[in-house]
Amino acid sequence: MRFFGIDRALVALACLAGLLGVALSAAAAHIPGADSLKTAAQFLLFHAPAILALAGFAAAGLARPGLMRLASGLLVLGLILFCGDLSMRAWLQHPLFPMAAPIGGFALMGGWFAGILGALVPVRRV
């Protein structure tokens, strides 16, 4: 198994998502009515292991590396937009930018779809 720079970056970002998920869970437990922070924390914690797995599949050559890296990248982008928007709304009372959460949601769905393709399209063996 060979880890490329992109794989290391995706693993680091997955770990950051887990860290932020724990931090937002703790913050939401102490802020009354922080439902959007709870949602953001859940999304971060649910997707962090998925990003780790996709990056691992890519690095190990168990699935199409390009599609798995694309899937991981879309999940990271989706988390930044979706969770970033929910967090900004909770703490600063304004969105990250208009339509950030829906765009992030579509990026997350795209990431899962790319993961499906990466798993189903056979790996080329040379």
Residue 5 has pLDDT above 70, yes or no: yes
Query: Taking Cα atoms as reference points, which of 16, 105, 12, 120 lies closest to residue 64?
Result: 120
Mean pLDDT of the chain: 93
Residue 1 has pLDDT above 90, yes or no: no
Tens-place pLDDT, residues 21-72: 999 999 999 988 889 999 999 999 999 999 999 999 988 888 999 999 999 9
Mean pLDDT of 70-99: 95
What is the residue extent of each domain of the chain? 5-120
Output the pLDDT for position 126: 65
Output the pLDDT for position 124: 79
Angle at which helices 65-92 and 35-60 pack, to 10 degrees? 160
What global pTM score does this model have? 0.93
Mean pLDDT of 9-27: 96
State percent of the chain over pLDDT 70.
97
CA atoms within 13 Å, Cβ hemisphere of 53: 12
